[in-house]
Amino acid sequence: MAQVDVSVLETALAPGLAEAAARARALAARLRAAAGVRLTAPGGTDLQLTFAGRPVHADTGWVRQPGDFGNLPAGEAYVAP
């Protein structure tokens, strides 16, 4: 990646892929069990998102099949609109 210092990647990838994948799967499971989320902050943010019926994905970092994709660092769970 252009203009990215190697130390940034080393720090981001330090936890290891297995740990990141486990966290992503756990978060995805929690999202699948929910109908939505609510985000609030002391400054007044109050955002509610519903995603019932939408597929939830875990970005585990494992890219093995044609058409698979991922991010580095991995470890996120997401719902696309």
Tell me whether residue 55 is in a domain. yes
- Residue 71 lies inside a defined structural domain of this protein: yes
Domains identified in the chain, total number: 1
Per residue of the chain (81 residues), give pLDDT as tens. 567 788 877 776 776 778 888 999 999 999 999 999 999 999 999 999 999 999 999 998 888 899 888 877 788 999 987
pLDDT score at 43: 98
pTM of the entire predicted model: 0.71
Domain of residue 45, residue span: 6-79
User: Does residue 51 fall inside a structural domain?
Assistant: yes
Per the CB < 8 A criterion, the answer to whether 70 and 59 are in contact is: yes
pLDDT for 32: 95
In a domain, 1, yes or no: no
Alpha carbons 68 and 42: distance in angstroms, whole number: 39
| pLDDT for the residue 1 | 56
